[in-house]
Structure 1
Amino acid sequence: MLRSMYSGISGLKNFQTKLDVIGNNIANVNTFGFKKSRVVFKDMMSQNMTGASGPTGVDPDAPTRGGTNARQVGLGAQLAAIDTIHTGGNLQSTGRPLDLAISGDGYFVVGQYNQDGELVDYSYTRAGNFYLDQQGNLVNGDGYFVVGAGGEPAPEADFKDGVEEQPGEAGEPITDPRKITIPVNAKEMTIGPDGTVNYIAGPDDPNGGEEGQLMTAGKIIFAKFSNAEGLQKSGNNLFSPTANSGLPLFNYAVTSGIGAVATSTLEMSNVDLSEEFTEMIVAQRGFQANTRIITTSDEILQELVNLKR
């Protein structure tokens, strides 16, 4: 069979994958905190018809000949990578106090606690559309608690479930992960650029504050990775670490290279529709060109079959 036919098949498979990725990007153009993906190709192995040779004729009295290059026939293309592009999306003002965005690097940490109050399962997200549950806990749309801490950084990290913490560039590791809870009778709540959640105490404040006193409910914890592109999408706007993402660096906002918190704001998807539609056209034409390779190869084979009648 002709090598060109199989090269065309490899091209079809690659452009199908590219169209799948483009379709997912476009589907999530309005998904808060979504990070687009891109497909990168690379050539497959090549078959050597003849190898390269150096100049011949070392004898000064003998005729010499220059070197020749190798003659190779490529065998198609293959998938090199599907990258997740973690550039920041545009920030959209919403006017809703519980909508938060990170202006810069970093991820919100959301997770679940067991009955003993220990953080046992958590993920990372850029989507900051948060809510208060029945008990006043700050949660995301799926009910995962926004992980916070009380007080200032402590000398030793105390995250549960065997997660290794690293010290920030300016400050100590975060300790004592906890839920961020706003009392039901609180009069007003504000969130600062560093992720500190404050509220105005109402009567009979459960944290002991006098009515009208400014109280702190906690401080939001953020995570940063040495290789954010190594994170794995796990659905529901969440990311999970992998062996190549590096261990999370936990700290507060505007610390250790983590960006500031923008309140009443959400980060939009970083998908650029004009770019995606252009890439779609390129993928479509590439797919069509590869089908032409297959049909042309088929016509040649048909001519060979017709030689014997």
Structure 2
Amino acid sequence: MLRSLYSGVSGMKNLQTKMDVVSNNIANVNTTGYKSSRVSFQDMVSQTMSNATAPTGNGGGINGKQIGLGVQTGSVDTSTGAGAPQSTGNPTDLYIGGEGYFVVQNSDNGTYYTRDGSFKLDADGTLVNSGGLKVMGYATSGGAQVEGGTPTYSETGTPITIASQIGGQNYSNNSLAVDENGTVTAKYGSQTYVIGKVELATFFNPGGLQKVGGNNYAATANSGNAVLGQAGENGSGNIQSGKLEMSNVDLSNEFTEMIIANRAYQANARSITTSDEMLQELINLKR
């Protein structure tokens, strides 16, 4: 009798986990670059009442008898599908049309990865995200180069910084531009200079990345190491300036999952109350 009580409790506890995930998805429906999560369940170990037996000369085989002991959360997976692009008209808002991630430098000089391309220039001319983390890229070798040549780039990532002056000419406000290959250019006087390229990262298993808040992810043992490169390499995709990636949350699906979780929760609660009524009947036999 107590098995049914505990099975019902396990169902309610794990359905609460599902509801927590669904609610978080709905809360982040307008979060830039947000990736929705999904809960998968597994049954718990079953109690074996009798083992299976093989056929004999006088009779057939008998299947084993097992009674389940409830449910457990198997995984909480991240859906890495791309969200739709939303036009902003801001040249420092960047959208990745592929599987890549922007690379940003965290406060410990480590590395985070993000799909949120809402960038801006800080007071030092450094390209940063909305949380102030520096956007990493490849600087042109030997400093900024005049557009039209064949620039070479550094092999290691470095923050993308727009100098206040080049060749005695001041930076022209709002002249920063990023093309589909991630090339960053800026205008000084009448001349346009190539500053560098935006760095993108890809992963063998992007679903294994760990969410660390602020629309950022950290690499884990199961995501694999980041494969760094320029836009268009390693399947990272091209960059679209003036656009941001919307959340990939499907509200119709989330509302459906919410209804399913609610009804399943009610059903598990009913199994508990029914088991309680049966126990009460058993106790009443003593009267």
TM-score, L = length of structure 1: 0.84
Cα distance in 2 between the residues matched to 1:257 and 1:113: 28
**Which consecutive unaligned segments of at least 5 residues does structure 2 have?**
142-152, 165-169
CA contact (8 A) 1:130 1:138 kept: yes
Residues 72, 94 of structure 1: alpha-carbon distance in 2 compared, 3 angstrom cutoff = same
Give per-residue Cα distances to partners, 1:171-225, cap 9 Å, x unaligned.
xx972322212234323221011111011222xxxxxxxxx22201111111111
Give the match for residue 77 of structure 1.
Answer: 71
How far does the alpha carbon of each residue in 1:236-256 deviate from its partner, in whole angstroms, 9 at most, with x for none?
000001111100000000012
* Aligned-CA RMSD value: 1.5
What is the aligned partner in structure 2 of residue 122 from structure 1? 111
Q: CA deviation at 1:276?
A: 0.1
Structure 1's unaligned 5+ residue stretches are 58-63, 115-119, 153-172, 203-211
Q: Which sits farther off after the overlay, 11-20 or 177-186?
A: 177-186
What's the TM-score, normalizing by structure 2?
0.90
Q: Residue 148 and residue 23 in structure 1: after superposition, are their counterparts in 2 closer, same or farther (change >3 A)?
A: same
| Alpha-carbon distance change, 32 to 223 in structure 1, aligned in 2, over 3 angstroms | same
Cα distance in 1 between the residues matched to 2:117 and 2:259: 33
* Alpha-carbon separation, structure 1, partners of 2:158 and 2:185: 15
1:135 paired with 2:124, answer: yes
Give 1:231's aligned amino acid: L
Query: How many residues are paired up?
Result: 269
User: Is 2:276 the partner of 1:282?
Assistant: no
Match of 1:92 among 68, 78, 86: 86
Match of 1:186 in 2: 171
- For 1:28, the aligned partner's letter is N
Residue type at the aligned position of 2:99: D
What is the rounded CA distance, in whole Å, between the counterparts of 2:60 and 2:26 in structure 1? 54
* Equivalent residue runs for 1:1-309 within 5 Å: 1-57=1-57, 64-112=58-106, 120-151=109-140, 175-184=155-164, 185-187=170-172, 188-202=175-189, 212-309=190-287
1:96 deviation in Å? Answer: 1.0
**Cα distance 1:181–1:174, how it changes in 2: closer, same or farther (>3 A)?**
closer
Q: In structure 2, how many angstroms separate the alpha carbons of the residues matched to 1:65 and 1:126?
A: 64
Deviation of residue 71 (structure 1)?
1.1
SS of corresponding position for 2:30: coil
The one-letter amino acid paired with 1:197 is V
Q: Secondary structure at the match of 2:110?
A: strand
Query: Which amino acid in structure 2 is aligned with residue 182 of structure 1?
Result: I
Any conservation in 1 of the 2:77–2:207 contact (CA below 8 Å)?
Answer: yes
Structure 2 counterpart of 1:50, one-letter code = S
The answer to whether the 8 A contact 1:111-1:122 is kept is yes
Contact 2:186 2:192 in 1 (8 A): yes
Report sequence identity in percent. Answer: 52
Where does structure 1 differ by over 6 angstroms across 4 or more consecutive aligned residues? none
The one-letter code sitting in structure 2 at the alignment partner of 1:55 is P
Partner SS, residue 52 of structure 2: coil
Q: What is the CA–CA distance in structure 2 between the aligned matches of 1:99 and 1:52, rounded to whole Å? A: 63
